Amino acid sequence: MTYRVGNTFFSGAGFCCAAIAVALLALGGCGGGNTIDNAVPVAQGARDTGSFPNLNIKPEVAAQQFTDAEKTAKLSELQSEKAQAVASPGATTEAADNAELGKLAATHAGDTLKEIEAGQTEGKCDPALDPTCK
């Protein structure tokens, strides 16, 4: 099979077409007025300034650092929240979530059934779901 593919590309018309295509691409590259000097950007690498870099310059900080007083205040706040969470884990949010879920479970089925029945009586049904819909 490889012999047939190679024979097709490197014989007669196939080889001529490939050679013409390569020649046209080469000529198209020369017509733009570009030279090698402006075709490749010059890289700015290391350069000799004649002096050594000063490594003693203190770097600038991105943000102000915490003071010791702020650190102790934040730590005491976090420790008090931790103690409160250990004493009553999830007491405030879990009870509210359970109550809301219980209410939803009690009313969801009835509300959905009412919506479905109201849609069928008003003629608003989905023919994709109900083939008898008119």
Confidence (pLDDT) at 116: 78
Q: Which amino acid is at 95?
A: A
**pLDDT tens-digit map of 3-55:** 665 665 556 656 666 667 666 666 565 555 666 666 666 677 778 888 888 88
**pLDDT tens-digit map of 113-127:** 887 777 665 656 677
DSSP 8-77: HHTSHHHHHHHHHHHHHHHHHHHTT---HHHHSPPP------SS---TTSPPPPSSPPPPHHHHHHHHHH
User: Region 83-97: what's the mean pLDDT?
Assistant: 75
Residue 125 · residue 133 · CB < 8 Å: yes
Task: Please tell me whether the overall predicted TM-score, pTM, comes out greater than 0.75 for this model.
Answer: no
In angstroms, the CA 124 to CA 134 distance is 9
Tally of CB atoms within 10 A around 14: 13
In angstroms, the CA 130 to CA 109 distance is 20
